[in-house]
Amino acid sequence: MTLEHLYVSLLVGGVMLLVSVAAARTAGRLGLPSLLFFLAVGVLAGEDVIGLEFDDAQLAQSLGTAALAVILVEGGLTTEWADVRPLLLPAGVLATVGVAVSVLVTAAGAHVLLGMDWHLALLLGAIVSPTDAAAVFAVLRALPLPQKVAGLLEAESGFNDAPAVILVLAFAMATADLPGPVLIVGDVLTQLAVGGVIGLVIGRIGVAGLRHIALPATGLYPLATVGFGIVAFAAAGAAGASGFLAAYLAGLVLGNAKLPHRAATRSFAEGTGWLAQIGLFVMLGLLVTPSELPSAVLPATVVGLVLLLAARPVSVLACLLPFRIPWREQAFISWAGLRGAIPIVLATYPIVEGVTDARDLLNIVFVLVVLFTLLQGPSLPAAARRLGLTRPDALREVQVETAPLDVLDADLLTVTIPPGSRLTGVAVTELRLPPPTVVPLIVRDGTTIVPQPGTVLRTGDELLLITTPQAREAAERRLRAVGRRGRLARWFGEHGHPEPPRPGAP
């Protein structure tokens, strides 16, 4: 690639990125999932409209899988462990048994109503059964839902990608006879168990490392945190296990640990997640050929209706009935099973494996995702209200979050009072620090003290000061002045300027 080609590629990519960002804003105003607009950008840029050609299913599969890994890491980092911990068992059942039930019901519908052979029907059922993490995270977090409902849907979307990928690969690679159920179940359980362990272990390693290693720049902490999630995904994949589950669990461990710059890390993860979503959906929009889509509308509608009205409700009922979840919540969970990038990426697997009529499956899945996202996404707020699940107090709850000092435009200073310093014996109020500098904490003999104005400083005290960049120099001068001449430093003409270096000093 020459420099000229590079500039043109970057220009086209940058323009498409900015158009996608603007589309996300428009989608938010209209109450539609932004993935539809990203897909539209890709379709408009494709060979039938603007003329960009992209039909490499292998590359789309690889890039799509990598993007999904980033999205799942971001999902784990931004999910509260306290919200999903009591829901792990029902979410796990819904993500495994629920996917299997949905595959069977959807495949039966496609076989009976469309005349598909069982191989293609099962493959299609496996492709469209998992809910999409990106769509669920983006849509549900904007709704004032009960935490149990939102947490269950988020956990399910984070967990069910792995079983679906395993099933799609098993069906796509079956050239003659389909693998037996015992073999499939054993493979699913093995990959999930190994992937889960790898994700948890690498997450804990990341927590230990980031707590004890001081990085030279604040921006490296978010980068390292997301990096550990990607390492978990790649390590599990290389071990023949579920990389998607490993990525989500590693992100969950890292996101809920008390790590430095947690808010900055979450902001960075959300940014990378959005970038992955935009790139993924635009690429998938480029992959399809619009002129081939009209023939897929009827089968996509039939399969979508089977999935929405039969497969999803049956799977939710079968999985959640033992947990005594109220029927209203079950009804909403059934309706809120959003599809998005995951099914379209999974639809590239049969193409790569050379399955007959695999391109038709891609078109059916693409149309199904677009049609039923248009139907389900905007209807979720109304569905929540009609089922009595909207929390009227949601907007009045206090949102508490940590924030790095650079976001607050503040500096944190630490001062340890050495032996012989005139700071010893001075009260906090007598420091007369320039506003808005404050002393919120003193560490004394291994214990922390919240100082009062009359708190007297002692030798060995470690003071934590918060100030602004504009007042920092004046605060440092005042501390030096009091340290040299005591509380009456100004009367003695001491203003705390740094002492000039001694002659011959380095």
Concatenate the DSSP letters of all residues of 391-437 into one string. Answer: -TTGGGSPP-----TTTTT-EEEEEE--TT-TTTT-BGGGG-PPTT-
pLDDT per residue over 185-198, tens digit each?
788 888 888 999 99
Task: Tell me if 226 is assigned to some domain.
Answer: yes
Residues 6+ apart with CB under 8 A from 185: none
74 and 210 inside one domain: yes
Q: What is the pLDDT of residues 75-90, one digit of tens each?
A: 888 887 877 788 889 9
Three-state secondary structure readout of 133-188: HHHHHHHHCCCCCCHHHHHHHHHHHHHCHHHHHHHHHHHHCCCCCCCCHHHHHHHH
Domain that holds residue 335: 33-392
Mean pLDDT score across all residues of the chain: 82
Does residue 19 form part of some domain? no
CA distance 355 to 346: 13
d(CA 125, CA 119): 10
- Residue 250 — very low, low, confident or very high, per pLDDT cuts 50/70/90? very high
What is the distance, to the nearest Å, from the Cα of residue 154 to the centroid of all Cα atoms in its chain? Answer: 11
- Burial status of residue 106 (CB atoms within 10 A of its CB: 0-12, 13-18, 19 or more): buried
pTM comes to 0.69
Q: Does some domain include residue 258?
A: yes
Residues 277 and 354 in one domain: yes
Same-domain check for residues 204 and 340: yes
57/143 same-domain check: yes
CATH number at residue 357: 1.20.1530.20
Note the Cα 96 to chain centre separation in Å: 21
- Residue 450 to residue 123: CA distance in whole angstroms: 63
Q: Per-residue pLDDT tens for 484-499?
A: 888 888 887 887 777 5
Residues 263 and 174 in one domain: yes
What is the reported pLDDT for 137? 66
Do residues 225 and 372 share a domain?
yes
CATH number at residue 429: 3.30.70.1450
Do 164 and 292 lie in one domain? The reply is yes
% of the chain at pLDDT higher than 70: 89
Residue with tokens 């690969």: 169
Residue 7 belongs to a domain: no
pLDDT in tens, 41-88: 888 877 777 777 777 888 888 888 888 888 888 888 888 787 778 888
Judged against a pLDDT cut of 60, whether residue 158 lies above it is answered with yes
**Residue 401 within any structural domain of the chain:** no
Whether 360 and 481 share a structural domain: no
The answer to whether residue 419 is domain-embedded is: yes
Helix pair angle (118-128, 88-114), 10° resolution: 140
Residues 6+ apart with CB under 8 A from 58: 348, 352
pLDDT at 389: 82
Give the Cα separation of 416 and 80 in Å (integer): 37
Is 199 or 178 the better-scoring residue by pLDDT? 199
- pLDDT tens digits along 258-309: 787 777 788 888 888 888 888 888 888 888 888 888 999 999 999 999 999 9
- What is the pLDDT at residue 27? 66
Under the phi-then-psi rule, with left for phi > 0, alpha for psi from -120 to 50, and beta for the rest, what region is 486? left
